[in-house]
Amino acid sequence: MKDVYLLGATGSIGKQTIEILRENKNAFSLKAVSCFSNIELLKKIIKEFKPKYACVGNIKDKEDLEKEFSDIICFSDEEGLLDLVTSGGDGGLLVNAIVGIAGLMPTVKAIEHKRDILLANKETLVTAGKIIKDLVKKNNVKLIPIDSEHSAIFQCLLNSKNEDVESIIITASGGSFRDKTREALESVTLEDALCHPNWSMGKKITIDSATMVNKGLEVIEAHYLFDISYDKIRTILHKESIIHSMVEFVDKSIIAQLGNPDMRIPIQYALFYPERKNFFNIKSLNFLEVKNLSFQELSFKRFPCLELAYFCGREEGIMPVVYNASNEAAVKLFLEKKIKFIEIEEIISKAVKSADNILNPSLDVILETDKLVKENIYNMYEVKR
Ligand code: NDP
Ligand code: MG
């Protein structure tokens, strides 16, 4: 029986993780859960799974939880999230399904408490990839990706040597606006942007898919996760989302991982790794129904945020932090309908071009950079308005 700490239990990945835990109550015990503001759903989860610890986004909701559940220990805010992650002895699994850099410090603390990390929160590796990899090694814990592309690459790389890898090929669905020209992007709305053709996900990642920032974050995530140079990371548009990614080896043999687009597959794989299970009768991929698998170039001209990600990744230091922070701020403004879709990439590009790099940043420098970049963007926006 493994203890599970589930951060972001009320989100898209969190809810699908709960589905899997529900079917496997004899294998996993949900020990700790968190949400930000969806307290009603969190209460349902607590009633069903009876965890020992829970964390919410603010003190008022914490008090509300304490009144209703006198037998669990409740925390709130950022600090509380760290208390949640460090409570209850060492070991077990942490599923990090929080969105944004808010997921970084909980990952750090969980590794220090020898918990294996099942990572959906790509922002953790984008902002502090080297620090996280070093901590994982030092504390001898597992780091297993949940992101579908990285789960695919992880599986393709099983039993292979790093020097045998020629390249990894990350596929992209193209997001909501894949068939639109750059000119047409001028007039798209928030509602249009939130309609992803293949996946149902949280709002931020859906917007990130439309700007191709998601693929950019995934390139940086892959660089750290698989210890592979940016020159060997390729991206390709694959509209069907059937091939989740591929690895080409030096002998030019390519191994790919395929399946219907269903995030329960990589979540389940991470939870049970190295075993394989299927509790949902997830449909087999029917090649005759799929008929065609298509591939197109992912042009940097059409998707400049992807090129910026390669640039920031190669620069290292705080540049990936600047890329991520400016994107988080811009997406927040877009979700609040304060800027146009096309302004997201303008904001990221400006932030990246005006940043002075700092190499080998500490966690403090990373968090401070994140804060400054976001503050700058919000201030700029206020002035403009
Ligand atoms: P959602 O927005 O659906 O869920 C986010 C979760 O995090 C919710 O439980 C939310 O709580 C909580 N949360 C939000 N903000 C904070 C904060 N500041 N502090 C603490 N908790 C917070 O996101 P997704 O599930 O779509 O994505 C989660 C992560 O997984 C992201 O990094 C994303 O890139 C990655 N990912 C997602 C995929 C998907 O299919 N959705 C696929 C691959 C990767 P509340 O509900 O109360 O607001
Ligand atoms: Mg992905």
- Per-residue pLDDT of 46-99, as tens digits, reads 999 999 999 999 999 999 999 999 999 999 999 999 999 999 999 999 999 999
9-22 burial, b at 16+ Cβ within 10 Å, e below that, comes to bbbbbbbbbbebbe
Cα gap 252→268, rounded to integer Å? 30
**Domains of the chain, residue spans:** 2-145, 150-316
Position in ligand 1 atom list of the atom nearest CA 13 = 25
- Ligand 1: centre distance to CA 292 (Å): 32
Ligand 1 pocket test, pick from 99, 219, 262, 268 with the greatest ligand atom count within 8 Å of Cβ, gives 99
Residue 11 Cβ inside 6 Å of ligand 1? The answer reads: yes
Ligand 1 site, residue 320, Cβ cutoff 6 A? no
CA of 97 to the centre of ligand 1 (A): 5
Within 10 angstroms of residue 46's Cβ, the number of other Cβ atoms is 20
pTM exceeding 0.85 = yes
State whether the beta carbon of 331 lies less than 6 angstroms from ligand 1. no
**Residue 191 burial (CB < 10 Å; 0-12/13-18/19+)?**
exposed
Tell me what pLDDT residue 384 has: 60
Which is it for strands 53-56 and 28-34: parallel, antiparallel or unpaired? parallel
**What pLDDT is stored for residue 134 in this prediction?**
98
Ligand 1 contacts CB of residue 265 (under 6 A): no
pLDDT at 70: 94
- Distance between CA atoms of residues 247 and 254, nearest Å: 6
Greatest alpha-carbon pair distance for the chain in Å reads 63
What average pLDDT does the structure give for the chain?
96
Is 2-145 a domain of CATH 3.40.50.720?
Answer: yes
Low-confidence residues of the chain: pLDDT under 70: 383-385
Residue 251 has φ and ψ, to the nearest 5°, of: -80, 10
Q: What is the pLDDT of residue 350?
A: 98
**Does 16 sit in the ligand 1 pocket, CB within 6 Å?**
no
Per residue in 225-256, pLDDT tens? 999 999 999 999 999 999 999 999 999 999 99
